[in-house]
C-alpha cells in the first residue's frame, strides 16, 4: 500500500448554512473498509445539489443525523492509493472517477475520499481527468431521465429544457446517442453556442428568440417527450408543446417547481448512483466520446467562491482543483 498520511486538507462545514460556512481545515483521512477504495483526489465536481446539501436540505428531507465536520462533494477523480481486501477491480495507481452521493465517510471536497468500490470506475483512455471528475452526477441524472423514466426511443422528438446547464448538456448528448431528434432550449447566446457544438438538431435561446414557432416547426404534432432541468414560467409554457400522450420527466428538486398542463405523463425522479447506471454511463462515455463543458475551475480553498458562482449564470459544470 502507498504511504497515506493520517491527516488531509478538506473543506468542511461545522453547521449547515450559506457558503460562508465552508472552511478549509485539516482533518483525519477516512478509514478504508474492506470494500472501499481510497482516492487521492485531483478534482471534485461542484453540483447545484451541493448548495441544497450545504443548507441541510437532504439531512432534513431524509431524516439524517449529520456528523460535523461535514464534507460536501458527491463526485471526483484521482488516483487509487489504497483499497480494501475485498477490492479486486482497481489497483494502486489507477486513475479513477466516482460518484458518492451523501457518502457516510465524507465527500470529495478533500484531498482523499474513501468510496465503495462499486461506485469506482477507471477513467477511459483519452478522457480528461478533470472532465471525469464532474460527469458522474449530471451524467447519471440525465441518463436516468432519458433512458429509465422517459424510455426515449430512436427517431422520437425530445425537448431538452435547460440544455446549457450541467444535466441539460449531458442530456443533449445522450438523447442523440439514443437516436432521438433533439430540440434544445439553452440559456443565453453563449449557451446556444455551446449546445450547438454538441450537435443537437435545433437549439434556441430561452431568454429570447421565437421558441414557440421553432418548436412547432420542429415537432408540428407536439414533442414525444421532454426533459426539464429547470423550472419557471418559461418551462411551464414550454410544456404546452408536448403532445397530449407525451411524457415529461424532471429531476426532483428543480426550482421553481414545474406547473404543467394536464393530460401528459409527468414524473419526477432522483439521480442517485448505483452500479448499473454507473456502468451504462461509462459505456456511453467510451462509445460516444461524451464531453463535459467546465465553465470555471476553483482551487479547493476557494470553495466558498465556487458555491457563490452556483447562483450566477454559467454553462455546464463548476469544478474544484484539489491538487495544487
pTM summary value: 0.93
Instruction: Indicate if the pLDDT at residue 2 is higher than 60.
Output: no
C-beta neighbour count of 180 within 10 angstroms: 24
Residue 257: predicted pLDDT: 75
What's CA 236's distance to the chain center, in Å?
23
Contact between 124 and 154 (Cβ < 8 Å): no
Cα separation, 321 vs 203, whole angstroms: 32
Residue 61: predicted pLDDT: 87
Query: What is the distance between the terminal CA atoms of the chain, rounded to a whole angstrom?
Result: 23
C-beta neighbour count of 240 within 10 angstroms: 12
pLDDT (average), residues 239-257: 86
- Of 24-33, 202-211, 229-238, where does the model show the most confidence? 24-33
Residues 106-151: pLDDT tens digits? 999 999 999 999 999 999 999 999 999 999 999 999 999 999 999 9
Contact between 117 and 34 (Cβ < 8 Å): no
CB-based contacts of 5, cutoff 8 Å, min separation 6:
29
The pLDDT-based confidence of 210 (bands split at 50, 70, 90) is confident
C-beta neighbour count of 225 within 10 angstroms: 26
Instruction: Indicate if the pLDDT at residue 253 is higher than 80.
Output: no
pLDDT (average), residues 94-101: 96
pLDDT (average), residues 40-61: 94
Residue 261: predicted pLDDT: 66
Cα separation, 45 vs 49, whole angstroms: 11
Contact between 11 and 85 (Cβ < 8 Å): no
pLDDT (average), residues 259-282: 86
Supply the mean pLDDT for the chain: 93
Residues 69-93: pLDDT tens digits? 999 999 999 999 999 999 999 999 9
The pLDDT-based confidence of 1 (bands split at 50, 70, 90) is very low
Q: Shortest CA distance to 133 belongs to which of 284, 311, 294, 299?
A: 294
What are residue 37's DSSP bridge partners?
A: 83, 115
Amino acid at each position: 500500500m502507498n504511504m497515506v498520511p493520517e491527516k488531509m486538507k478538506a473543506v468542511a462545514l461545522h453547521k449547515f448554512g450559506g457558503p460562508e460556512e465552508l472552511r478549509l481545515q485539516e482533518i483525519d483521512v477516512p478509514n478504508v473498509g474492506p470494500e472501499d477504495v481510497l482516492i487521492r483526489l485531483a478534482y471534485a465536481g461542484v453540483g447545484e445539489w451541493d448548495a441544497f446539501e450545504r443548507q441541510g436540505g437532504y439531512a432534513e428531507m431524509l431524516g439524517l443525523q449529520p456528523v460535523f465536520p461535514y464534507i460536501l462533494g458527491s463526485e471526483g477523480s484521482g488516483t487509487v492509493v489504497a483499497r480494501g481486501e475485498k477490492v479486486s477491480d482497481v489497483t494502486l495507481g489507477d486513475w479513477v472517477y466516482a460518484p458518492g452521493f451523501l457518502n457516510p465517510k465524507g465527500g470529495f471536497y478533500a484531498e482523499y475520499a474513501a468510496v465503495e468500490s462499486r461506485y469506482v470506475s477507471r477513467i477511459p483512455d483519452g478522457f480528461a481527468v478533470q472532465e471525469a471528475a464532474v460527469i458522474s452526477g449530471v451524467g447519471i441524472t440525465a441518463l436516468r431521465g432519458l433512458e429509465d423514466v422517459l424510455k426515449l426511443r430512436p427517431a422520437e422528438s425530445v425537448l431538452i429544457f435547460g440544455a446549457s446547464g450541467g444535466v441539460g448538456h449531458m442530456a443533449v448528448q445522450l438523447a442523440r446517442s439514443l437516436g432521438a431528434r433533439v430540440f434544445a432550449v439553452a440559456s443565453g447566446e453563449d449557451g446556444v453556442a455551446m449546445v450547438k457544438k454538441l450537435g443537437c438538431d435545433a437549439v434556441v435561446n430561452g431568454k429570447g428568440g421565437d421558441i414557440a414557432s421553432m418548436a412547432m416547426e420542429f415537432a408540428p404534432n407536439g414533442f414525444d417527450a421532454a426533459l426539464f432541468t429547470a423550472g419557471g414560467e418559461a418551462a411551464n409554457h414550454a410544456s404546452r408543446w408536448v403532445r397530449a400522450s407525451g411524457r415529461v420527466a424532471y429531476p426532483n428538486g428543480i426550482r421553481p417547481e414545474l406547473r404543467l398542463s394536464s393530460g401528459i405523463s409527468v414524473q419526477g425522479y432522483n439521480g442517485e448512483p448505483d452500479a448499473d447506471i454507473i456502468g451504462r454511463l461509462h459505456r456511453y462515455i467510451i462509445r460516444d466520446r461524451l464531453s463535459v463543458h467546465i465553465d470555471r475551475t476553483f482551487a479547493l480553498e476557494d470553495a466558498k467562491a465556487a458555491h457563490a458562482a452556483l447562483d450566477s449564470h454559467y454553462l455546464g459544470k463548476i469544478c474544484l482543483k484539489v491538487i495544487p
